[in-house]
Amino acid sequence: DSGVTQTPKHLITATGQRVTLRCSPRSGDLSVYWYQQSLDQGLQFLIHYYNGEERAKGNILERFSAQQFPDLHSELNLSSLELGDSALYFCASSLGTLNGELFFGEGSRLTVL
């Protein structure tokens, strides 16, 4: 158990809908990273938050947004969902921003029908 909690574990929804994925980092970790893992691809970096502030953005679609709250949990919002958004979404946390060890949650599997 990495100490990173993601909910929900599984989610099935329809095209055009909006979903929110939630992540609670390990106790004491200030950084939260979000990654998307599709069937044929590796881990695609989406976004990194540190202590409530956006630190870096990857190839995150405009339909996607994220935030980190004062209690350090983070949410990833996916809207106007398309079939291609079906993937495993991972959250990972680390203590700081200096690219130290990331601890991954078990992921949220999103299926868009």
Partner 1 sequence: EDKVVQSPLSLVVHEGDTVTLNCSYEVTNFRSLLWYKQEKKAPTFLFMLTSSGIEKKSGRLSSILDKKELFSILNITATQTGDSAVYLCAVGGNTGKLIFGQGTTLQVKP
CB of 71 vs partner 1, minimal distance in Å: 21
Residue among 42, 54, 40, 47 nearest 92 (CA): 47
**Residues contributing to the site for partner 1 (CB under 8 A):** 2, 33, 35, 41-45, 48, 50, 55-56, 58, 90, 97-107
Are 110 and 11 a contacting pair, CB within 8 Å? yes
Nearer to partner 1, 15 or 38 (CB): 38
Name 100's bridge partners. Answer: none
Nearer to partner 1, 25 or 107 (CB): 107
Report, in this order, helix, strand and coil percent for the chain, each rounded to 5.
Answer: 5, 50, 45
CB of 59 vs partner 1, minimal distance in Å: 10
CB of 57 vs partner 1, minimal distance in Å: 8
